[in-house]
Amino acid sequence: MTQEDEEVFELVKELKDSGLLDILMSALKNREGILLEIANWLQNNENVMKNLSTFLAALSKLNPDEMKKARSLTDVLNMVKDPDVLSGLSFFLNLMKVIGEVLRE
């Protein structure tokens, strides 16, 4: 038996011992139903996909090395004058509002 074979057997043993192997096997056996449920959920929650897409697009453009750093309240107030900053703040403030509503439910 090779080293790779032993590692595979060890992995399977660990998955079995932890109960994850049963979960994975069940998910594989029911994959069509699971994928259908996910597709239905995504179809009924299209805002999630739009918001995630917006967030990921913005994140991909963000370069931490080129970010403006606010060093004072005046810097913050000057940054807030930027229409793009205001749009971003509005997005996150609306997100915080919805999170608050969900937490109260």
Residues 6+ apart with CB under 8 A from 85: 79
For position 41, what pLDDT does the model report?
86
* DSSP per-residue codes, 13-62: HHHHHHTHHHHHHHHHHTHHHHHHHHHHHHHHTHHHHHHHHHHHHHHHH-
102 SS3 class: helix
For position 52, what pLDDT does the model report?
87
- Distance (Å, rounded) from C-alpha 94 to C-alpha 55? 14
- Distance (Å, rounded) from C-alpha 57 to C-alpha 53? 6
Q: Residue 100 above 90 pLDDT? A: yes
For position 11, what pLDDT does the model report?
93
For position 89, what pLDDT does the model report?
92
- The H or E element spanning position 98 is helix 83-104
For position 47, what pLDDT does the model report?
86
For position 48, what pLDDT does the model report?
84
Q: What are 29-88's pLDDT values in tens digits?
A: 999 999 999 888 888 888 888 888 888 998 898 888 888 788 999 999 999 999 999 999
For position 23, what pLDDT does the model report?
94
**C-beta separation of 42 from 48 below 8 A:** yes
